[in-house]
Amino acid sequence: MSDAPKSHGRLTARPSLRPRELMAEPQVAGAWTARIITLFPEAFPGILGLSLTGKALAQGLWNIRTIGLRDFGMGRHRNVDDTPAGGGAGMVIRATCWTRP
């Protein structure tokens, strides 16, 4: 029997002095990718980078792709807010036909 560890589908393994970026490409062929639409893409992976989900993310068993909602906003300030249909206080996210810029 060989003492060499099994690869378990890993594409590459390279030693580095820098920690691997958690939002990088998946390290395992066919890894699941979560796509998250958010106003705050810089807040991820956040708590998803901790505990068991964080360990799996660091091992490349799954991946996160954030989609910044403001990229699809309207006007010079990329506004995504709209007023409620019935009036009143508060704001809602504008419903638009989104296409990637």
pLDDT tens-place string over residues 7-50: 555 555 666 666 666 666 555 667 888 999 888 999 999 888 89
Does 51 map to a domain? yes
Inside any domain, residue 11: no
User: Per the domain annotation, does 5 fall within a domain?
Assistant: no
> How many distinct structural domains can be found in the chain?
1
- CATH code of the domain in which 74 resides: 3.40.1280.10
Parallel, antiparallel, or unpaired: how do β-strands 62-68 and 32-38 relate? Answer: parallel
Is 7 domain-assigned? no
Tell me the whole-structure pTM to 2 decimals: 0.58
Residue range(s) defining the domain that contains residue 89? 32-93
Q: What is the pLDDT of residues 91-100, one digit of tens each?
A: 788 776 655 5
Q: How confident is the model at residue 52 (pLDDT cuts 50, 70, 90)?
A: very high
Task: Determine, yes or no, domain membership for 46.
Answer: yes
CA distances from 59 to 53, 67, 76, 95 (A): 10, 22, 40, 37
